[in-house]
Structure 1
Amino acid sequence: MRSKVMNENWHNFLRLIFSMRFHIVVATVFWSDLVDSRKIRGISSSYKRFYREKKSFLCIDGSKMIPFEQVNDDYCDCQDGSDEPGTSACPRGRFYCTNLGFRPHYIPSSRVNDGICDCCDASDEYNSPARCQNSCWNLGQRERAFVEGQMRALDEGLRLKQQLIEEGVLLWREKQAQLRELQQVAEDLQLKLEEHRRKKHEADQTLKALQSSDSGHAGYNSSAVGLFNLLDSNKDGSLSVEEIQSKVTFIRDETRVLTEDEAVTLLGGGHRMDLSTFRNTLWDILTSGDSVKIKDMHSGGAGRLVGDDPHLKAADRAAEWEATNLKKAEESYEQVSAEISELQRKLAIDYGTDWEFLFLNTQCFQLQVYEYTYTLCPFNQVTQKSSAGTEVSLGVWGMWSGSANNPYSQQVYENGEPCWQGGSRSTTVTLTCGTETGLRSAKEPSKCQYIMDFQTPVACQPVLKQRGVHSEL
């Protein structure tokens, strides 16, 4: 019986000892945690391994070894400030804001306990009179909403981009078909042009043959010799003032007789003209039919021009007709050739891997900035127009200038109007993702060098990994 009682007392004693030991251990751990939390204040979880409780502490830059009690003792021992992560003692120190629910970040240790809460969780003001509310959750909520909005906009932009890619492919095919059609039209016009040239040449040859013929028309020969003989009434081998007055009249006033001065003018300034001179002067005037003509000596009245000869006139009309047709054919061919050249120039531009930027080629976008209106015509030019109406070229299309990872993120427009300081104006256009297409900003950070922000869905790029708002636990 006594043995049983003694055993029970012994077990009770052991339970008491165990219970006391347990509470001592818990208290020790709790105190250790408090000490440890005090020691490692201002440290991210990735650096906590350097601050484990031990006899000594090695500065993270390896420059010095100090007793662990000197960590966060408000006195700077390490040159890199690593021994005072939770105080403002070290000028080069950094304090880590955990900011649970928002983005963690570092602040200069000089801001610790300065009465201003720099960390949204107020952890930097643990020993100051400042009383800051923990705003991390609200900030995180707003940022998460912003990021979610950006992601929705990105998804919408990518959806619109896919539509524009499909439109770009169709538009590219249409342009290629249009080019082939224009090239076929140019080939047909080339054949017609050659035919008109042949007909024009034949008409000119016929007219020339008739003009050099010695056959007579309306009482006189249409050749130079025949006409000279007709005018030389006394057959002395020369034409006089009297002979010109008697046989030549004005086209618009056939009843008026030429004055002596007018006859002398037709004779080249002299009073007589031989056949050789006649061929090179008066013959051309009479056969042109512009001002004077020959009187019909048989009827006694006004006669017909040499140019009024029915055969000669028909040949002249034919030559003029073929000349008109040839001119029209040449103009049509030149116009089609210009359209082909312009279309080939446009198709030679890099519009993206899937021709997604092709739809911008025929569009222009404007933005008002104070007294200036900026106009961007992608793949063409950039201009600036003042409120006074003066327009200046800020550059013509040059090239894509984006990074190797995203070459279609930036454009350069160069060789604009000369700048008063020398050189020419140029513009760099940065393309950003958005659900709408248009100019967002235009600036001149340096003289005659302009930058623009241009938003469009085709600039949207798929994101493989989106950095969201996270908390470090």
Structure 2
Amino acid sequence: MRFYIIFAAIFWCGFVDSRKIRGISSSYKRFYKERKSFLCIDGSKIIPYEQVNDDYCDCEDGSDEPGTSACPHGRFYCTNLGFRPHYIPSSRVNDGICDCCDASDEYNSRAHCQNTCWNLGQRERAYVEGQMRTLDEGLRLKQQLIEEGVLLWREKQAQLRELQQVAEDLQIKLEEHRRRKHEADRLKEQTLKALGAGNTGLRHHNATVSSVFQLLDSNKDGSITVEEIQAKVALIHDEERVLSEDEVVALMGQDHEMDLPKFQHTLWDALTKSDRVKIKDTHDAPGSPVAEDPHLKAADKAAEWETTNLKKVEEAYETVNMEISDLQRKLAIDYGTDWEFLFLNSQCYQLKVYEYTYTLCPFNQVSQKSTAGTEVSLGKWGMWAGTPKNQYSQMVYENGEPCWQGGSRTTTVTLTCGTETALRSVKEPSKCQYIMVFQTPVACQPVLKQRGIHSEL
């Protein structure tokens, strides 16, 4: 008889104990120590301890019924040994559906639940271990990219200094070429003044007597006639009017034809000393005394040479300054604390989603191209927009092409840890607002590893 009494007592105590602690996490067990009364966890009411888990809701927060579905706001704790523990609404307890992988929520129902926690835990452990391996490899690759970024940054700085030195040298050379061109132009101008068309040039350049005679001698027979002079000589103030025969004969000293010696002592003096007549438009004409003058040819060639050289130096100076501006713009971008994102500059990554091909060029722009060939800008590089703890976890590209509804297209790029650098996904959750997931080793953060695998797995 004593044996049955002891067995019944042990069975009843076990039943009471299991009833008391069902649906309770280990951190809440201190509130459910068996005593005469139970204080609702929210402090709103004290009830007899026998009313805990009696399938009737007494506390407003549902804390007296953690193991039943009596309270509308109650929670049931799934221990899920071997997997992740979690809470479910108490309304799901004994509802015939297995919510806890350890089947603890269906302790008094007809549902036949199997404990799947170990298998789920194995899969999650394998996933977490894979993530840890990916993180380790990602961090290793990130360190390499950091080292490369530092070297590349130094190379860019050295390149900038070299370009700036080249620009300074070109500026000095440019000033020298401008001075030389100015001198060449001035020399040409002085030569032209000395040889210039009309009487002033002829008056100061007697060596051109023979050249002027040859110019007037159109048929090259060694003499000039009235008709030949009419064709080449005109009034200074009325060049369009043809000189009359009498006017020409007067200039020729009453002769109608003359050779070079006679020309030098008659018509030459008239051309050089008269303020009425001049040789027509012979400034740069082939065969003219001015065009044939060796001094002018040399001055003209020198001016042309200096003009060509100046243009070359100006083009080189402009090109170098453009390179300097482009390099300074690139170096002004924030590439991370250790320049780890520098390698992404000048790179582009593509992903095809249905009929569109998306292209992400970090620190430059984002675009979308249809199968028909139409390309649309989804935004230009704006800024980093991550969290305060990790500002380099998100990029924003702004001021893309306008939408038909108004406003410009924008793209937000979220960076995730991975062993490869690639564009992984593109979505358009709202009109003209795009979201991209971009995977790269430099997005891996050592702090992630501190989380480890959950202690209850």
3-state secondary structure, aligned to 1:465: helix
Equivalent residue, structure 1, for 2:140? 159
3-state secondary structure, aligned to 1:57: strand
The one-letter amino acid paired with 2:366 is V
Whether the aligned pair in 2 keeps the contact of 1:91 and 1:109 (CA below 8 Å) is yes
Rate the CA distance shift 1:70–1:342 in 2: closer, same or farther, 3 A: same
3-state secondary structure, aligned to 2:450: coil
Whether the aligned pair in 1 keeps the contact of 2:69 and 2:92 (CA below 8 Å) is yes
Equivalent residue, structure 2, for 1:406? 390
Equivalent residue, structure 1, for 2:73? 92
Equivalent residue, structure 1, for 2:454? 469
Whether the aligned pair in 1 keeps the contact of 2:420 and 2:441 (CA below 8 Å) is yes
Structure 2 CA distance, aligned partners of 1:238 and 1:72? 126
Rate the CA distance shift 1:54–1:278 in 2: closer, same or farther, 3 A: farther
Structure 2 CA distance, aligned partners of 1:471 and 1:165? 36
Q: 2:283 aligns with which of 282, 287, 302?
A: 287
Q: Offset at 1:144? A: 0.7
The one-letter amino acid paired with 1:192 is K
Does the alignment pair 1:219 with 2:224?
A: no
- The superposition leaves residues 361-385 of structure 1 with CA deviations (integer Å, 9 ceiling, x where unpaired) of 0210011111111111111111111
Whether the aligned pair in 2 keeps the contact of 1:238 and 1:275 (CA below 8 Å) is no
3-state secondary structure, aligned to 2:446: coil
Structure 1 CA distance, aligned partners of 2:277 and 2:146? 77
3-state secondary structure, aligned to 1:382: strand
Equivalent residue, structure 1, for 2:25? 44
Structure 1 CA distance, aligned partners of 2:192 and 2:108? 118
Whether the aligned pair in 1 keeps the contact of 2:384 and 2:391 (CA below 8 Å) is yes
**Bigger shift: residues 335-344 or 303-312:** 303-312
3-state secondary structure, aligned to 1:379: coil
The one-letter amino acid paired with 2:453 is G
Equivalent residue, structure 2, for 1:363? 347
Q: 2:190 aligns with which of 206, 209, 231?
A: 209
Whether the aligned pair in 2 keeps the contact of 1:401 and 1:409 (CA below 8 Å) is yes
Structure 1 CA distance, aligned partners of 2:154 and 2:137? 26
Structure 2 CA distance, aligned partners of 1:161 and 1:386? 34
3-state secondary structure, aligned to 1:287: coil
The one-letter amino acid paired with 1:377 is C
Q: 2:115 aligns with which of 134, 138, 150?
A: 134
**Bigger shift: residues 93-102 or 25-34:** 25-34
- The superposition leaves residues 237-265 of structure 1 with CA deviations (integer Å, 9 ceiling, x where unpaired) of 75455469xxxxxxxxxxxxxxxxxxxxx
The one-letter amino acid paired with 1:423 is G
Whether the aligned pair in 2 keeps the contact of 1:401 and 1:411 (CA below 8 Å) is yes
Alignment of 1:379-458 (within 5 A): 379-458=363-442
Equivalent residue, structure 1, for 2:100? 119
Equivalent residue, structure 2, for 1:336? 320
Q: 1:64 aligns with which of 18, 38, 45?
A: 45
Q: 1:78 aligns with which of 42, 54, 59?
A: 59
3-state secondary structure, aligned to 1:442: strand
Equivalent residue, structure 2, for 1:266? none
State percent identity of aligned pairs: 74
Paired positions, count: 401
Structure 2 CA distance, aligned partners of 1:108 and 1:310? 107
Q: Offset at 1:75? A: 1.4
Rate the CA distance shift 1:329–1:275 in 2: closer, same or farther, 3 A: farther
The one-letter amino acid paired with 2:212 is Y
3-state secondary structure, aligned to 2:428: strand
Rate the CA distance shift 1:29–1:49 in 2: closer, same or farther, 3 A: farther
3-state secondary structure, aligned to 1:219: helix
Q: Offset at 1:219? A: 3.2
The alignment yields a C-alpha RMSD, in angstroms, of 2.8
Whether the aligned pair in 1 keeps the contact of 2:78 and 2:87 (CA below 8 Å) is yes
Equivalent residue, structure 2, for 1:378? 362
**Bigger shift: residues 142-151 or 30-39:** 30-39
Q: Offset at 1:278? A: 8.4
What are structure 2's unaligned runs of at least 5 residues?
A: 195-200, 214-228, 245-273
- The superposition leaves residues 327-366 of structure 1 with CA deviations (integer Å, 9 ceiling, x where unpaired) of 0000000000110111111111111111111100021001
The one-letter amino acid paired with 2:327 is L
Q: Offset at 1:29? A: 5.0
Rate the CA distance shift 1:382–1:243 in 2: closer, same or farther, 3 A: farther
- The superposition leaves residues 130-154 of structure 1 with CA deviations (integer Å, 9 ceiling, x where unpaired) of 1111000010011011111100100
Rate the CA distance shift 1:320–1:32 in 2: closer, same or farther, 3 A: same
The one-letter amino acid paired with 2:383 is M
Structure 2 CA distance, aligned partners of 1:317 and 1:406? 66
Q: 1:107 aligns with which of 60, 82, 88?
A: 88
Q: 1:180 aligns with which of 161, 167, 173?
A: 161
Structure 2 CA distance, aligned partners of 1:174 and 1:457? 22
Whether the aligned pair in 2 keeps the contact of 1:220 and 1:230 (CA below 8 Å) is no
- The superposition leaves residues 375-407 of structure 1 with CA deviations (integer Å, 9 ceiling, x where unpaired) of 111111111111111111111111111111111
